Amino acid sequence: MALSNTLKIHEVTQVTPFSDSTTEFSHPLTLYDTFWFNFPPVERLYFYQITDLTPHFFYSFILPDLKHSLSLTLLHYLPLAESTADFNSLTDNGVHEAVELHPLIPQLVTSDDKAAMIAIQITLFPNQGFSIAITSHHAILDGKSSTMFIKSWAYLCKQLGKDEGEPSLLPELTPSFDRTVIKDPTGIDMEYVNNWFAYTNTRSLKVLPNVVQNTDWVRATFELTRDDIQKIRNQVLLILNKDNEKEDRQPRQVHSSTFVLTLAYVFVCLVKARRGPDNGRVVFGFTADLRTRLEPPVPLNYVGNCVMSHFCAATARDFTEENGVAFVAKKLSDVIKGIERGEFEGKKDALSEILRLIKSLSEGVQGLGVAGSTQFDVYGSDFRWGRPKKVEIVSIDKSGAIALTKSRDKSGGVQIGVVLKKQEMEDFASLFVDGLKD
Ligand SMILES: CC(C)(COP(=O)(O)OP(=O)(O)OC[C@H]1O[C@@H](n2cnc3c(N)ncnc32)[C@H](O)[C@@H]1OP(=O)(O)O)[C@@H](O)C(=O)NCCC(=O)NCCSC(=O)CC(=O)O
């Protein structure tokens, strides 16, 4: 669908903080920020359905409150657009060209010596609803921070509607920018910056356009219900307990969380759908939030990055064999236990290993990663006109990762966004459904 032909830009504006103060603001980067220095930005897209939404109501009521509350939430860019695309089609879970959502996403302007932190695009779909997209620089905001930012904005916008004067933020939504909570006695922050300079072969603030080849991709959304996850958990535990008995080992506790089981199940379907060689190398992993894991802990309202990526390796055969899901779940569980023990903190070579991995992706190594988290309640961001109908992480078509979020229906399930080539997506969809049958 040629959505770009039907998108009209109405306004590009800079929304400034709601204050007369022109205080200079300096924001040092920590090692967890420089870890993401040139990484492609994260694009999150929230669709709000309002049938019978007229341009008049949107421009006279919704938009002014969004802008007012946005200025209260301290923002930088706001391109405003209008689209005649079909809202229902864009927000269904079916298979769509990956590029279809691109016109709804604002570009983050970065150059050699300057980089915007966030860009916002609000798009009206007359008589259908509107969408809000946030593109955020990963060296400035991790997933917890950028979803908290949208939550804060939504909260202030909702409060404005109550007409009780200027609203103020709840303590848990009030950001903390205190960089001193991140300790880096050996200067790993600069090590990471130098890793990025070596990788990009230039000393530039420009973000990478993508980390994987991404032409001809389609996008689709899948759901695992709580029951599906329990079914996967039962199968995985049965297999791992049998292995323990066979090898006469004490049963070891496996971290069989919703997150681990979702990843194990989806990664196995992905490797099968991609049909790579049996002995091909697969590198798989995820990003962990360290706020509660550092000593002393970092406040939950810390805004910046407090996340690190962790990967492990196997061959495609390990995934495609009968016990593939249990194999992957066990590997992921071991990594999480290592994180809990603090084994990966202060690793100087953490980024260079990942950059080597990114390079190897163009040499036939399969990479499996995750954007977002089952811990972010993105469907809770209600600006006053209802919860989002759909939330997507559009930028997975730059990283090849899967996109995770809590299910919209609050039932304890997980929503999974996937990008693949068309034939692979068809195979993935069948494998995903078939694997859950009794
Ligand atoms: C390391 C982990 C991935 C492991 O997850 P697990 O769920 O397996 O393990 P856990 O110990 O955290 O949680 C165990 C159980 O407690 C629940 N639980 C724990 N903390 C929770 C929280 N804050 N909110 C909701 N649930 C929580 C879990 O759902 C799970 O229950 P149950 O048994 O039901 O499962 C996670 O701890 C973590 O750090 N998640 C956040 C990762 C993150 O921030 N990613 C974004 C990276 S930035 C990015 O990607 C860009 C972007 O998003 O913008």
DSSP letters of 58-77? IIIIIHHHHHHHHHHT----
What would the mean pLDDT of 75-98 be, rounded to a whole number?
77
392 lines ligand 1 (CB under 6 A): no
Q: Is residue 22 over pLDDT 70?
A: no
Name the closest-CA residue to atom 33, ligand 1. 257
pLDDT, tens digit (0-9, with 9 covering 90-100), for 302-357: 999 999 999 999 999 999 999 999 999 999 999 999 999 888 777 889 999 999 98
What would the mean pLDDT of 22-29 be, rounded to a whole number?
65
What would the mean pLDDT of 137-148 be, rounded to a whole number?
93
What would the mean pLDDT of 79-94 be, rounded to a whole number?
83
* DSSP helix, strand, coil percent of the chain (3-state; round to 5): 40, 20, 40
Q: What is the H or E stretch that residue 427 is in?
A: helix 422-434
Atom index in ligand 1 nearest the CA of residue 260 equals 8
* pTM for the structure as a whole: 0.92
State the Cα angle at 9 between 94 and 138, rounded to 5°. Answer: 65
Instruction: Quote the pLDDT of residue 82.
Output: 85
- Higher pLDDT: 116 or 153? It is 153
289 lines ligand 1 (CB under 6 A): yes
Q: How confident is the model at residue 2 (pLDDT cuts 50, 70, 90)?
A: very low
228 lines ligand 1 (CB under 6 A): no
371 lines ligand 1 (CB under 6 A): yes
User: Residue 173 gets which letter from DSSP?
Assistant: G
What would the mean pLDDT of 51-67 be, rounded to a whole number?
92
Name the closest-CA residue to atom 31, ligand 1. 257
What span, in angstroms and rounded, lies between the C-alpha atoms of 152 and 75? 12
Instruction: Quote the pLDDT of residue 403.
Output: 98
Select from 226, 257, 393 the residue to mutate for testing ligand 1; criterion: most ligand atoms less than 8 Å from CB.
257
Instruction: Quote the pLDDT of residue 37.
Output: 87
Name the closest-CA residue to atom 26, ligand 1. 375
What would the mean pLDDT of 251-275 be, rounded to a whole number?
93
| Averaged confidence pLDDT in the chain | 89
Q: How confident is the model at residue 241 (pLDDT cuts 50, 70, 90)?
A: confident
83 lines ligand 1 (CB under 6 A): no
Neighbouring C-beta atoms of residue 258, cutoff 10 Å: 20
336 lines ligand 1 (CB under 6 A): yes
Q: Is residue 220 over pLDDT 60?
A: yes
Instruction: Quote the pLDDT of residue 15.
Output: 65
257 CA from centroid of ligand 1 (Å): 9
Q: How confident is the model at residue 23 (pLDDT cuts 50, 70, 90)?
A: low
DSSP track, 392-412: EETTHHHH--EEEEE-TTSSS
What span, in angstroms and rounded, lies between the C-alpha atoms of 307 and 286? 10
Instruction: Quote the pLDDT of residue 211.
Output: 85
Looking at the chain, the whole-number percentage of residues with pLDDT higher than 70 is 93
What would the mean pLDDT of 194-223 be, rounded to a whole number?
91
337 CA from centroid of ligand 1 (Å): 13
Instruction: Quote the pLDDT of residue 85.
Output: 87
Neighbouring C-beta atoms of residue 88, cutoff 10 Å: 15
259 CA from centroid of ligand 1 (Å): 7
Q: How confident is the model at residue 180 (pLDDT cuts 50, 70, 90)?
A: very high
